[in-house]
Structure 1
């Protein structure tokens, strides 16, 4: 918009070149003052105005084009969109382990408090406030947990850090849209101890599995032996009660042998007496008796 006004200013001077010099100067000065009286606030930004007489005004100007008094006033533009900040901090846990924590904070200024923010913190409010309150919060929260809890209760720790940090930032008129732990790292000794513990736990689980498998195999062997003994007992009773039972079993065995041979690539020739396990001879001998 400023460039458009400048173009109109020069065009106006060229068109009215025939006017006297005083009138030209007056009109050009008027257009220049009008040009200097406007300023734009882009999307996602807010403006406050500094006045040479009254200082910072309490009004916050939204997006759009606004008026100001040239030379006596000038705008101060703030970006009120949320921006991420990654902070790395080293803190001590309750069991005296050194912990390196990476914290991602999504922060923005409270738009209605911009005049107060400028009076107390200036434009670089993030650099002045965030590092100190984040380090302070991390040290106070991490000291309440031991190293194992920081690993197993990460979500709880992150929530507590978010609550404490949100309250601390509100004291400086800053809003936190998101706080999350991006990384947790321990010293080499503690990391080695954790790895050794994990290996020992895996070995213990494997040993437990082998013991349970041996128990199951033992139970299966007992059940199998009991089943075979019961089967032998039943077969013995069947033979005692009916001598033809064993002949029936031999016929079934012969059928299985014949079925197996018929599907084999090798061809064998067996006589009937051999295949039927000499049942006819048994019957003849039984008849003689």
Structure 2
């Protein structure tokens, strides 16, 4: 007889525990999130941080808002300043500002990517692309990126969103424009080569002129140094060297003009 009420009491306790667990009077906010508590669907203004929080079962629900850095990619077409069709692919890293979790949950239905990020990126890319020519989009890519980020931050900040990183993955143009760019690049390379060749030819010509000028100045200097006294000195030196080499015998015959007289024959003819 005693066991009946005890068992029944135990059953009541177990049922109460099960019901309590099913009703879950406690809510957990995990890392990288913030909680927004709703009472019969109406969100409170308080932002709940990470941890365990009490809630009224059935009446209240803890809704999670992701405040960690999230990544999104997208692509679309726009027109440049010179009316070239530009296909752009971009990537963005963003996060919900923790203190704006209630605003994002209430105003954006906790879907900031679809509600704000995607249309904001498309609008910013189109607006900035229209300010640059197709060629400038390539040569001033960093400036284009900075202008897009500035436009994005102004719009996203109003909704409690923060831009962490933004990248232009690629610009694609029409086949005709790509061919025109390639032809222009080739022409510029040929022009640079021609300019280098011209500079080389000019340098070589200047070098030849400098060498000719130096040779002319050297000859002029030598002519100035050749005086009658120097010529007589050179003649005397040549005669002296000829005498040093003479063996004391005079030639008996000569060809052509006769520079010497046959001394021996002349002496015989002079004898009585």
TM-score scaled to structure 1, two decimals?
0.73
Q: Closer, same or farther in 2 for the Cα pair 1:26/1:233, shift >3 Å?
A: same
1:143-162 matches, within 5 Å, as 143-162=130-149
The equivalences for 1:1-289 within 5 A come to 20-32=6-18, 35=21, 36-52=24-40, 55-236=42-223, 284-285=241-242
Q: Is the 8 A contact 1:94 1:145 kept in 2?
A: yes
1:236 and 1:33 map into 2 onto residues whose CA distance is: 126
Unaligned runs of 5+ residues in structure 2 are: 247-272
**Matched pairs, number:** 239
Query: 1:108, 1:188 → 2: CA distance?
Result: 38
Unaligned segments of structure 1, at least 5 residues: 1-16, 247-280
User: Residues of 2 paired with 1:111 and 1:42: CA distance?
Assistant: 13
Superposed CA offset, 1:80-108 (max 9, x none): 10111111121001110011112221111
Structure 1 segments (4+ residues) deviating >4 Å: 235-243, 286-289
Coordinate RMSD, CA, aligned: 3.0
Equivalent-residue separation in structure 1 for 2:243 and 2:50 (angstroms): 116
- Structure 2 length-normalised TM: 0.77
The answer to whether the Cα contact below 8 Å between 2:37 and 2:44 also exists between their aligned partners in 1 is yes
CA distance in 2, matches of 1:286, 1:238: 27
The answer to whether the 8 Å contact 1:100/1:185 transfers is: yes
After TM superposition, give the deviation of residue 219 of structure 1 in Å: 1.2
**Deviation per CA, 1:111-158, whole angstroms, max 9, x where unpaired?**
222223222222333123222221122112211221122122222221
Q: Is the 8 A contact 1:33 1:70 kept in 2?
A: no
Q: 2:94 touches 2:165 (CA, 8 Å); kept in 1?
A: yes
Q: Partners of 1:22 and 1:56 in 2: how far apart?
A: 41
